[in-house]
Structure 1
Amino acid sequence: MELGIEGKVALVTGGTSGIGLAIARRLLREGARVFVCGREPARLEEALGQLRGEGEVQGKVMGTLAHVDRPAEAGRLVEEAVAAFGRLDIVVSNAGTHLRGRCEELSPEQVEAHFRTKVLGPWELARHAAPHLRRQGGGRLILVIGQAGKVPGRAVLGSAVVNAAQHALVKSLSDDLGRDGILVNAVCPSRISSPLTADLVIDEERYLGRSLEQQESGWGDTVPLGRWGTPEDIADAVAFLASERASYLCGTNIDVDGGHQRMIF
């Protein structure tokens, strides 16, 4: 299927490992030029080296250090991406992690930091990117939102509240920007094997006196497909939403979870 991404410019936050790196690699393979950001210099250089080794992509990938929870840096990131490639068509907001903990275990500072990264960060990205996307006649803004925003739980209170706010942001931005041809959507991962989930504690998991590998082998039992997904599964969904084939999808969210999240809407 021809996605119509070739020649376009994509900005991917949190693009130096796991899901973000897989998204950057997938967009490159579709012919896009990609600008990634991360927080750690060594990880950024390693990611850029990997991406630049992807076949014929010389000159098609660049990156910078940025903390998207800082409003000024989100704006700078957009301007650097435009300066590097002369335009901007696709913005993928993937920065942030999972905030685990019950109410009395989380400080206001922790929740605020999580909110700044996952809500105010993409807010500022959208605010600064919108004028550039309008100049191209439209574009794509895609948020990667963890499952807690749809499936709250007592041990994931911080992520549940912040991720739900991300869903509200997607819906509101889609209404605001859709008339300009800027389509805002979300991809919602669950049970994805990545560096983020390497130290994951499964809710209600009990130590059974077995090796870690033995216990992990049963974690896919709650997924109808019987296995965990990969970062590439998320990258495929993002590439579709970024494409011309998704031109009538606006304000929606796509679950990429092997059927794990059992909610009706």
Structure 2
Amino acid sequence: MDLEISGKRAIVLGASRGLGMAIAQSLASEGVTVFAAARSRDKIAAWAEGMDNVHPLQLDLSEIEEVDAVVDSLLKDGGVDIIVNNGGGPPPGTAQTAERSAWLTFFESMGANLFHMNTRLLPKMKERSWGRIISITSSGVEQPIPNLALSNGIRSAVVGWSKSLANEVAADGITVNVVMPGRIHTQRVDELDAAAAKRTDTDVKEVAAKSRGTIPAGRYGKPEEFADVVTFLASERAGYVTGSKIRIDGGSIKSI
């Protein structure tokens, strides 16, 4: 199937590893010019070696000056057609122990600065009457994950923003969607399993096995499986999908 996005321009955040890296690679394989951004530009440069249509960018979403510098550079060159909002999650913790400073710190990078970047890039999409905005959140926005209160709360704000924006720009040919990963086997999931093992004084293999046992598919997902769904949503073929939340979780979320 021709996804009809060869020659489009995309920025993928959090692209140094995990889901962001897999998404950037999937888009690049479809002929998209990908600006792959993360705090570690060197890590992107390492996996993107030899890929002429992948351009590593240094970007720390917690630093608004860096956000504006990247946006200025992209706009100077014509902007982008596709935005993939993705980033690392905050540390584990409960709602009752999360301090005000933590909520403010992580909302700034995972919410406010992200919204600011998209708002600045949006006008070029509107000029072309075509655009795709895809935000990677978590299954926790539908079924809160224990001990991930910061993530559950802040990513839910991203969902509300996405739905609001989707309604505003649908007539401009721009789609806005949210994709919710379940347990996709990335370094982030390994880190969460390790944290759970330490917290419960349990072997990490036992924690991972117990986690897999709660998934109807009986396994963790592959980053490539997740990335290919995102790439489809970024395509011409998905032009009538907007304002939606898409689960990629092996059936983990229990609600209908």
* TM-score with structure 1 setting the length: 0.88
- Contact 1:11 1:81 survives alignment (8 Å): no
SS in 1 for 2:10: strand
1:177 CA displacement: 1.6
Note the 1:87-102 alignment, pairs <5 A: 87-102=79-94
Indicate how the Cα distance of structure 1 residues 154 and 192 shifts in structure 2: closer, same or farther if over 3 A, else same. closer
> Which residues of 2 match residues 41-80 of structure 1 at below 5 A?
44-53=41-50, 57-58=51-52, 60-80=53-73
**What CA RMSD, in Å, does the superposition of the two structures yield over aligned residues?**
2.1
Cα distance between partner residues in 2 of 1:176 and 1:75: 23
1:10 maps to a residue whose letter is A
- 187-196 or 211-220: bigger deviation: 211-220
Match of 1:81 in 2: 74
Deviation at 1:35, TM superposition (A): 0.3
1:142-175, Cα deviation, whole Å (9 max, x unpaired):
1000122111255222222111111101100101
SS at match of 1:227: coil
Q: Which residue of 2 is the match for residue 35 of structure 1? A: 35
Write the mapping of 1:101-180 to structure 2, written as runs, cut at 5 A: 101-153=93-145, 155-180=147-172
User: What's the offset of the Cα at 1:72?
Assistant: 3.8
Relative to structure 2, which stretch is displaced further, 86-95 or 44-53? Answer: 44-53
* 8 Å Cα contact 1:36-1:62 kept in structure 2: yes
Q: Which stretches in structure 1 are left out of the alignment for 5+ residues?
A: none
Report how far residue 83 of structure 1 moved.
Answer: 4.0
> Which ranges in structure 2 are unaligned for 5 or more consecutive residues?
none
2:135 alignment partner, SS class: strand
- In 1, Cα distance between the equivalents of 2:249 and 2:115? 26
- What corresponds to 1:15 in structure 2? 15
The one-letter code matched in structure 2 to 1:260 is S
Cα 1:26–1:164 change in 2 (3 A) is same
Give, in whole Å, the separation in 2 of the partners of 1:153 and 1:22.
Answer: 24
What SS class does the counterpart of residue 250 from structure 2 fall into? Answer: coil
Instruction: Give the Cα–Cα distance (whole angstroms) in 1 for the partners of residues 82 and 103 of structure 2.
Output: 28
- Structure 1 residue 199 and structure 2 residue 197: aligned? no
Match for residue 184 of structure 1 among 176, 179, 185 = 176
Structure 1 counterpart SS, 2:191? coil
Paired amino acid for 2:32? A
Amino acid in the other structure paired with 1:68: L
- The question of whether the paired residues in 1 share the 8 Å contact of 2:75 and 2:121 is answered with no
